[in-house]
Chains A and B, each alone.
Chain A
Amino acid sequence: MEPEDDLCQNNWGGSSSSSSSKRREQVCFTSQHKWEDASILDYEMGMEEEPAFQENSNNNNGGQVNVDFLQGVRAQAWDPRTMLSNLSFMEEKIHELQDLVHLMVARNGQLQGRQEQLVAQQQQLITTDLTSIIIQLISTAGSLLPSVKHHNMSTAPGPFTGSALFPYPREANNLASQTLNNNNNNTCEFDLPKPIVVEEEHEMKDEDDVEEGENLLPGSYEILQLEKEEILAPHTHFCTICGKGFKRDANLRMHMRGHGDEYKTPAALAKPNKEAVPGSEPMLIKRYSCPFPGCKRNKDHKKFQPLKTILCVKNHYKRTHCDKSFTRSRCHTKKFSVIADLKTHEKHCGKNKWLCSCGTTFSRKDKLFGHIALFQGHTPAIPLEETKPSAQKGSSACENSNNNNTGMVGFNLGSATNAIEEVAQPGFMDGKIRFEDSFSPLSFDTCNFGGFHEFPRPMFDDSESSFQMLISSACGFSPRNGGESVSNTSL
């Protein structure tokens, strides 16, 4: 039982100077208000802010309640051996935190009256540390839950018998807040279910963060840390005879065959670590730590998340802690430290053809449409049209035809040619009407008008020109009076 007591005292000793259990109880009951506030908040919204721990540096409600809760649990008959390793790990962590706070206290004396900002930073630091400790505590306690349930049923009256009842934190929370409103006077009932709500909130968050999707208990695996030089070395396997380096162990073994028959035996060619496995106890899972201090993947980090394989270590180290030396030859905008990333990029570069008016590009149409549906006023951008020679020829052709179109004379104000020149320079319009870029004067000027001068012009003439004579002379109809055709115009 000693380690547990010790743990608690450490914990509270670390966070607040007075660590009497009396005060703890007091906080536990007076904290009712705070919980009420928290439960009013929607948890979906509150996720990022972690409302339960916002003011942890002062009184650490959530943690304390949890500890109380766990103490009760441990008071029951329980074999602690299985958890010993975990607890000792936590103990270590708490010691670290303690040291940190000591340091702060010492510094606080020196920097009295300094910026609020620093104080806030320190608070935040401690908060995160505590949070991580609490998470570990809770995850350790997770295996105890069946007995917790039993214990709760016997001790605490009320509807809440542990998290097993509430598979979804939200549900539990809503229910809790409901009952809270119903019986406001009865305060004792609520300090048990609340922490469980919070606990599950954190577990969810953690799972999101961990890339590997695994949630190994701290201490249940062996942590290896390679040195920087080792990680960056081009070759990791070296021939003991000639000194040649290889990237893969298998390649080295293939190479070794050339040094003599003794390297050709099945035993020599077999994968070396496979031999160790049979017979011996199931090996502790290996996980890797990044040698870079302060990195989340570094084992000394508070929220340490181990890397799964050596390859992960290499890629992680190169990506995060090395210069990006591989540059894109074509677009020059992106740099990569891992060559495979560059290759992946090259494979997809230029495929982001779905463009939004806000400038964001998407590789898939549905992603673009999702984006547009989400944001007010965003529209898909239409890529600039590649200049179509035929279309431009067409427009020039019709201008040519209009140019000598007698029917249009009444319609052009001023001389026909002037009007056409004006139209041919859309820049003139810019004051009133904005056109798409593709219709800028430039693209218009460059189009080939020449081709159409070769076109026999009279053929473009409109009705009232070439064949008119032919008709009146050929078949003796009376000369047409213009009114006939005009009369129908505005039907």
Chain B
Amino acid sequence: MSHSILSALSEDLLVRVYGFLDPPCRKTWRLVSREFHRVDSLSRTSIRILRVEFLPALLFKHPNLSSLDLSVCPKLDDDVVLRIALDGAVSTSRLKSLNLSRATAVRARGLETLARLCRALERVDVSHCWAFGDREAAALSVAAGLRELKMDKCLSLSDVGLARIVVGCSKLNKISLKWCMEISDLGIDLLCKKCKDLKSLDVSYLKITNESVRSIALLPKLEVLEMVSCPLIDDAGLQYLENGSPSLKEIDVTRCDRVSSSSLISIVKGHPDLQHLKASHCISEISLSFLHNIKALKHLKTLWIDGARVSDSSLLTLSGSCRALTELGVSRCVGVTDIGMMGLARNCSNLKALNLACCGFVTDAAISAVAQSCLNLESLQLESCHLITEKGLQSLGCYSKRLQELDLTDCDGVNDRGLEYISKCSNLLRLKLGLCANISDKGIFHIGSKCSKLLELDLYRCAGFGDDGLAAISRGCKSLNRLILSYCGELTDTGAEKIRQLEHLTHLELRGIKNITGTGLAAIARGCKKLAYLDLKQCENIDDSGFWALAYFSRNLRQINLCNCSVSDTALCMLMSNLSRVQDVDLVHLNRVTVEGFEFALRACCNRLKKLKLLAPLRFLLSSELLEVLHARGCRIRWD
């Protein structure tokens, strides 16, 4: 019967229906019928490849892809790319976005092939490819239509490589050079001269000087400028921005040590339309003149002044004029008290995000005021606000129905009753309760039963709760994908048995839980198939049976920490050879593993490892061929 109804739907109708589905449903959609599967194949525009073996087949099946994510694809290297290039059946000409983040084994040859294959390429992400250097940049510069390029932490990239890209891809309008430590003023200068369309530029953590800012100020269309922690830039440099970059909307000078409020004033003067001003940890005090100038910014939405000395009156003045403010960061600000916060809450009712971390004088009164006035509040960070008690949380539970993110790490005043109030915020997605020692199973039970949308839960060192609480979480928060249970000493195998119900779990930290044994780990491995990150450091009582199960079931594991585990030679070898997607491994202090065990285990996985932590003496005990192969495959080894 259903077959006939479905067959009545024409293909274009199916495509339209498909368009309204969200990704998990699309997965189910595929399985309905051959026709549905075809619609899915044809209308799919983005794909994230987990295994390189399926890459050509998937590319062939989905001809209309515009976005390809290879960032979690181990074993991707030049040869794979070349083979795809040789295989004429694969159509990549529509591909616009390519994510090669952490694909360290793809070098110049592969990149050039990719750049030539994907003619319509507009966005490329090669962040964290530490081997990405000038040669690779030259290869990438073949993609002349490139508009967005992310090159964070391309440690080997120098000015020469940047120049190649700048000359080759002159249409760039967004580029991120965060942590490209070799880039100097010369490179930035050339970038600003050649890419006049640049709208967004990230030069965070670079050793660039005021000269670069002078060049940047000449960019006519620049809207977003991020220069977090540029230690050589001072006020004289920022002065250039006063009359430059007329369309600047957002500037981030967080942790620029030599920048003071005087240069920020000049920027503000020159750009009355500034929307986002992020100046955390760079100004020591909110002066009157600074306030006076900030007042003129009628469109200011984001203001970060973390770490500055703020008085109540200045908060009042500020909130009185910048009523459009939606995001305020005053963490670690000395002088933030209830009076200031109440004034702020009264004036800025549109506030969506508020960071009050380490503002020790803030009490329940301020939180209540914020909760009552700012009904749109989505994110509230209250880390180390020790004076906050259940009263404050009560008003949060009553009024802040849109709250999505709440950070209560290290708040001593949080207890079970407080959690009960919080649980009324039913839209909560992320909840951090680390170091809250007064929480017991009762409080956790409330969270588990009401916060069903929770995606992330941090219970780091919450020693007061046990297996029952975890059972409640596992029952209630089915969509949880990130769970931190490190040092929750009460947990045992029974609790671990419950975790297996969390099918969407991808990130699990079980550090230092002594009571979990092989049985518990086996249960987790069997249940949480999507697990990609697992921290088992100091879980000393897990025996080989647990690791065998892990090796057998957790096929998606990408990152694993096995420090101080009692894993044996055989179990380690099995883990390393069977976990075909593992990329980042910590193998420090494995007392039962011999040098041969390490050697075999690493040989088994050396073609996919990206990051490895080992005890320093092993450097001389492991075979040099192994280390060479690891290095050649782009694996970084940290010797502990």
**Interface pick from B50-58, B262-270, B316-324, B341-349:** B50-58
Given contacts A394-B629, A394-B632, A477-B552, contact A410 B53 (CB under 8 A): yes
The docked-state distance in angstroms from the alpha carbon of A454 to that of B163 is: 42
Flag whether B168 is at the interface (Cβ < 8 A). yes
Binary contact readout B51-69 vs A (1 if CB under 8 angstroms, 0 otherwise) = 1111111100000000000
Binary contact readout B25-63 vs A (1 if CB under 8 angstroms, 0 otherwise) = 001000000000000000000011111111111100000
Interface size range of chain B in the complex:
35 or more
Check B53 against A474 for contact (C-beta < 8 Å): no
Interface size range of chain A in the complex:
35 or more
Of A366, A456, A470, which is within 8 A of B574 by CB?
A470
Check B573 against A467 for contact (C-beta < 8 Å): yes
Q: For the complex formed, measure the closest distance between the CB of A146 and the CB atoms of chain B, giving whole angstroms.
A: 43
- Please, which residues of chain A bring their CB within 8 A of the CB of B604? 459-461, 466-467
Check B578 against A467 for contact (C-beta < 8 Å): yes
Check A365 against B529 for contact (C-beta < 8 Å): no
Check B629 against A393 for contact (C-beta < 8 Å): yes
The docked-state distance in angstroms from the alpha carbon of A152 to that of B116 is: 73
Check B113 against A433 for contact (C-beta < 8 Å): yes
Check B578 against A393 for contact (C-beta < 8 Å): no
- Please, which residues of chain A bring their CB within 8 A of the CB of B49? 489-490
Q: Which residue of B lies closest to A354 (CB)?
A: B160
Flag whether A107 is at the interface (Cβ < 8 A). no
Q: For the complex formed, measure the closest distance between the CB of B157 and the CB atoms of chain A, giving whole angstroms.
A: 12
Q: For the complex formed, measure the closest distance between the CB of A490 and the CB atoms of chain B, giving whole angstroms.
A: 6
Flag whether B450 is at the interface (Cβ < 8 A). no
Flag whether A344 is at the interface (Cβ < 8 A). no
**Interface pick from A27-35, A317-325, A328-336, A377-385:** A377-385
Given contacts A373-B194, A436-B135, A485-B555, contact A463 B549 (CB under 8 A): no
Check A369 against B163 for contact (C-beta < 8 Å): yes
- Please, which residues of chain B bring their CB within 8 A of the CB of A426? 109
- Please, which residues of chain A bring their CB within 8 A of the CB of B573? 467
Flag whether B274 is at the interface (Cβ < 8 A). no
Those of A440-477 within 8 Å (CB) of chain B: 451-452, 454-456, 459-468, 470-471, 474-475, 477
- Please, which residues of chain A bring their CB within 8 A of the CB of B600? 459
Q: For the complex formed, measure the closest distance between the CB of B488 and the CB atoms of chain A, giving whole angstroms.
A: 27
The docked-state distance in angstroms from the alpha carbon of A379 to that of B134 is: 12
Check A382 against B48 for contact (C-beta < 8 Å): no
**Interface pick from A40-48, A223-231, A399-407:** A399-407
Given contacts A459-B600, A477-B552, A489-B50, contact A378 B116 (CB under 8 A): no
- Please, which residues of chain A bring their CB within 8 A of the CB of B83? 411-412, 419, 423
**Interface pick from B185-193, B220-228, B238-246:** B185-193
Check A382 against B134 for contact (C-beta < 8 Å): yes
- Please, which residues of chain B bring their CB within 8 A of the CB of A459? 600, 603-604
The docked-state distance in angstroms from the alpha carbon of A364 to that of B622 is: 43
The docked-state distance in angstroms from the alpha carbon of A463 to that of B577 is: 5
Binary contact readout A59-103 vs B (1 if CB under 8 angstroms, 0 otherwise) = 000000000000000000000000000000000000000000000
Of B48, B190, B194, B548, which is within 8 A of A471 by CB?
B548
Flag whether B15 is at the interface (Cβ < 8 A). no
Given contacts A423-B82, A488-B530, contact A436 B108 (CB under 8 A): yes
- Please, which residues of chain B bring their CB within 8 A of the CB of A412? 83
Those of B79-130 within 8 Å (CB) of chain A: 79, 82-83, 85-87, 105, 108-109, 112-113, 116
- Please, which residues of chain B bring their CB within 8 A of the CB of A456? 603
Of A366, A394, A407, A422, which is within 8 A of B86 by CB?
A422
Check B529 against A369 for contact (C-beta < 8 Å): no
The docked-state distance in angstroms from the alpha carbon of A490 to that of B549 is: 24
- Please, which residues of chain B bring their CB within 8 A of the CB of A433? 85, 112-113, 116
Of B167, B551, B556, which is within 8 A of A372 by CB?
B167
Check B51 against A489 for contact (C-beta < 8 Å): yes
Check B632 against A395 for contact (C-beta < 8 Å): yes
Check A466 against B577 for contact (C-beta < 8 Å): yes
Given contacts A419-B86, A463-B577, A490-B58, contact A373 B48 (CB under 8 A): no
The docked-state distance in angstroms from the alpha carbon of A419 to that of B134 is: 29
Q: For the complex formed, measure the closest distance between the CB of A427 and the CB atoms of chain B, giving whole angstroms.
A: 13
Q: For the complex formed, measure the closest distance between the CB of B80 and the CB atoms of chain A, giving whole angstroms.
A: 8
Given contacts A372-B167, A394-B633, contact A491 B552 (CB under 8 A): no
Given contacts A369-B190, A395-B632, contact A488 B47 (CB under 8 A): no
The docked-state distance in angstroms from the alpha carbon of A50 to that of B77 is: 63
Q: For the complex formed, measure the closest distance between the CB of A363 and the CB atoms of chain B, giving whole angstroms.
A: 15
Q: For the complex formed, measure the closest distance between the CB of A409 and the CB atoms of chain B, giving whole angstroms.
A: 9
Check B135 against A382 for contact (C-beta < 8 Å): yes
Q: For the complex formed, measure the closest distance between the CB of B168 and the CB atoms of chain A, giving whole angstroms.
A: 7
Check B164 against A379 for contact (C-beta < 8 Å): yes
Q: Which residue of B lies closest to A457 (CB)?
A: B603
The docked-state distance in angstroms from the alpha carbon of A488 to that of B553 is: 13
- Please, which residues of chain A bring their CB within 8 A of the CB of B55? 411
Flag whether B545 is at the interface (Cβ < 8 A). yes
- Please, which residues of chain A bring their CB within 8 A of the CB of B164? 379-380, 382
- Please, which residues of chain A bring their CB within 8 A of the CB of B161? 382
The docked-state distance in angstroms from the alpha carbon of A410 to that of B631 is: 28
- Please, which residues of chain A bring their CB within 8 A of the CB of B56? 411
- Please, which residues of chain A bring their CB within 8 A of the CB of B548? 471, 474-475
Check A477 against B549 for contact (C-beta < 8 Å): yes
Those of B114-170 within 8 Å (CB) of chain A: 116, 134-135, 138-139, 141, 159-161, 163-164, 167-168
Residue pairs across A and B with Cβ atoms less than 8 A apart, 21 shown, are: A365-B159, A372-B163, A373-B190, A373-B194, A379-B163, A380-B160, A382-B161, A382-B164, A390-B631, A395-B78, A398-B607, A419-B83, A436-B138, A451-B625, A455-B625, A459-B600, A461-B604, A470-B570, A475-B552, A489-B49, A491-B27
Pairs of residues from A and B, 6 with the lowest C-beta to C-beta distance, nearest first? A394-B632, A459-B603, A463-B580, A379-B167, A485-B555, A380-B160
Chain B interface (Cβ within 8 Å of chain A)? 27, 47-58, 77-79, 82-83, 85-87, 105, 108-109, 112-113, 116, 134-135, 138-139, 141, 159-161, 163-164, 167-168, 186-187, 189-190, 193-194, 529-530, 545, 548-549, 551-552, 555-556, 570, 573-574, 577-580, 600, 603-604, 606-607, 625, 628-629, 631-633
Please name 14 further chain A to chain B contacts, defined as beta carbons within 8 Å, in addition to the given A460-B607, A462-B577, sorted by A numbering.
Answer: A372-B167, A382-B138, A382-B160, A394-B628, A394-B629, A394-B631, A395-B78, A395-B79, A398-B607, A423-B83, A452-B625, A462-B580, A470-B570, A470-B574
